[in-house]
Structure 1
Amino acid sequence: MEYLDFELPIKELQDQLEKCQIIGEESEVDVTQTCKKIEKKLLETKKDIYKNLTAWQRVQMSRHPERPYTLDYIKALCGDSFLELHGDRNVKDDKAMIGGLGKIGDQSYMFIGQQKGFNTKTRQYRNFGMSNPEGYRKALRLMKSAEKFGIPVVTLIDTPGAYPGLEAEERGQGEAIARNILEMTRLKVPIITIIIGEGASGGALGIGVGNKVLMLENTWYSVISPESCSSILWRSWEYKEQAAEALKLTSPDMKRLKLIDEIIKEPLGGAHTDRKVTFLAVKNAIEKNYEALKNLSPKDLVNQRMEKYLEMGVYKG
């Protein structure tokens, strides 16, 4: 298991516990009490570290290499029922944006989300989760198909941003994202959006307009990454921690500012430490929120979504 810088005290205690257990197995010395003391200290250390995470540490948690990605969630939620759909019917199939039909229980959903890779080869294949315009147009095509058949949409956001390359700009990156935002505001089926990792800039907003917007506990959602913010304001990445605090990008910040509806709690140590618990929490959140939306008429769904976003940033004296 990989540990982040601020998790090193946990690693040290974990190593001590493993050594203690090995000594107990390989000798006749009773180390039960010693192991229990280390376990107790380990739990206390974990609680102390994870309950006091800074904004930058949450950003680091959202990028943990062992954290589950979009396809991990979809496979866990839908099993063999997931049918991936490809292509935007215009340019090509964007591997950074995946989507398709899947079932949770007896209810069908259209799942759409950015997919990152788990090693060098797959990261290149998935373009590091950064979609081109054809990815957003594929997403819109799938949303429109879902609307046609009355199927609710679930979007899973995990991207460092839309791809900023020359080819993407030539093919209309800004227009593709803007079109998705417009079309999602008036889609006549329930939309549930979940930030499962990084939620950066227009790359996230391109599939981020929903009736219900949820965030996993150790994720972030912002117009810009802390590093990019730091490089613009201070001409250096050295101030990324200060930028993260100022951006108010964590899930508690988003909830307090009423920009999201719900925070999905993660296991102690992050989503990657107990994937089954994380997947179950996401499944329950989807089912609960769909129950709250399924009886609304298409007109009410659109009105609720429009009102939700029109109220953002409005303060009454």
Structure 2
Amino acid sequence: MAPINILPFERPIYELEQQLEILENQPDPTPGTKDAIRNMRVEIARMKREIFENLDPAEVCLVSRHGNRPQTLDYLELVFDEFVELHGDKAFGDDRAIVTGFAKLDDHKVLLVGQQKGRTLKERNQCYYGCAHPEGYRKALSKMQLAAKFQVPIICLIDTPGAYPGVDAEERGISYNIALNLREMSMLNTPIVCVVIGEGGSGGALGIGIGDHIAVLQFAYYSVISPEGCAGILWKGVEHKDKAAKALRFTAPDLAQLGVIDEVISEPLGGAHRDHRAMATMLRGSLNAALKELYTIPKDELLNRRYEKFRRFGVFEEGGDPAAA
């Protein structure tokens, strides 16, 4: 039986895989059947590569939101060891949209900060679909400051459509708390690695996204606004979301070309939602390499580089005098 969460462009892949499963389950396959199985496996791999190498930005957005895509808690199980969760902001409550705690990444002791959307309806309601409240950002910052005190590196896994947009979040100072995180993270005297593992939406992502090494998974996106939100503002209709997605240039290759991120982390053939373990292995390798490099940089230089990294965003050179053209 095919999975429920099938994206439109994935359907030919699943149809072929169903045919392959029927052939593989035959009790006494003939030599011809064995040849057909081999050829079909090759064709499935070719089809995956062709489809996923040619996704447009709107399709990348769909992959980043896939219901089976690995989330922070999945990576906690597959990448990290000895996780000790830290709860609460010491002011209001414990926001389940952001998970924080100390963990081990191979030989490294790290503080993990990650946004969690949830899988079941109950989990999603508890996590507000990954949209954190002010207390979530306060929790994240207080734990990051604790890590900096003991010179423990910080890893942030970003996966949110944006901060919680409700009245209660506004009343409790969501904008202030995100802005505070931006300022304080820029001055934390310890290495910070940020990885967008799914959606990287607006200030909700930036609230834990100020770091020394910024990476984005191959089929994740990192943007000031969702394509639906952009289409609603600029073209007054969500039906223009594909046009907005292209204009925003929020895919990992675009971001790397623009100098917004430092690394594009490849995903398994067919996307991370098809193979959690393979994706976890790739993420582990990227995190280890980033931390190894950041450990070699003196702390003063580390802070200066971090500051200059974000100061460069939006810098442009003007051409000649337009009147002379």
TM category, shorter: over 0.9
Partner letter of residue 280 of structure 2?
F
The structural deviation recorded for 1:118 is: 0.7
Q: Distance in 2 between matches of 1:283 and 1:29?
A: 41
Task: Encode CA deviations 1:118-153: one digit per residue, 9 max, x unaligned.
Answer: 111111111100000000000000010001101011
Q: How many residues align?
A: 315
The match for 2:146 is 145
The match for 2:37 is 35
Task: Encode CA deviations 1:153-182: one digit per residue, 9 max, x unaligned.
Answer: 100000010001000000000000000000
- The more displaced of 47-56 and 13-22 is 13-22
- Which of the numbers 22, 30, 50 marks the counterpart of 1:19? 22
Q: Distance in 1 between matches of 2:278 and 2:18?
A: 24
The structural deviation recorded for 1:30 is: 4.9
Q: Distance in 2 between matches of 1:28 and 1:58?
A: 40
Partner letter of residue 83 of structure 1?
V
Partner letter of residue 3 of structure 1?
I
Partner letter of residue 161 of structure 2?
P
Query: Does the C-alpha gap of structure 1 residues 27 and 266 become closer, same or farther in structure 2, counting only changes over 3 Å?
Result: closer
Say whether the 8 Å CA contact 2:45–2:269 is kept in structure 1.
no
The structural deviation recorded for 1:245 is: 0.5
Match runs of 1:1-317 below 5 Å:
1=3, 2-22=5-25, 24-25=26-27, 30-79=32-81, 81-316=82-317
The structural deviation recorded for 1:49 is: 0.5
Match of 1:126, SS state, is: helix
> In percent, how many aligned pairs have the same letter?
43
Partner letter of residue 27 of structure 2?
E
Partner letter of residue 66 of structure 2?
H
Q: Distance in 1 between matches of 2:76 and 2:83?
A: 7
- The more displaced of 189-198 and 41-50 is 41-50
Match of 1:64, SS state, is: coil
Partner letter of residue 76 of structure 2?
I
Partner letter of residue 15 of structure 2?
E
RMSD: 1.4
TM-score of the pair, normalised by structure 1: 0.96
The structural deviation recorded for 1:265 is: 0.5
The structural deviation recorded for 1:26 is: 6.3
Q: Structure 1: which 5+ residue stretches go unaligned?
A: none
Partner letter of residue 257 of structure 1?
L
Query: Does the C-alpha gap of structure 1 residues 230 and 83 become closer, same or farther in structure 2, counting only changes over 3 Å?
Result: same
Q: Distance in 1 between matches of 2:59 and 2:68?
A: 16
Partner letter of residue 231 of structure 2?
S
Partner letter of residue 57 of structure 2?
A
Q: Distance in 2 between matches of 1:238 and 1:181?
A: 33
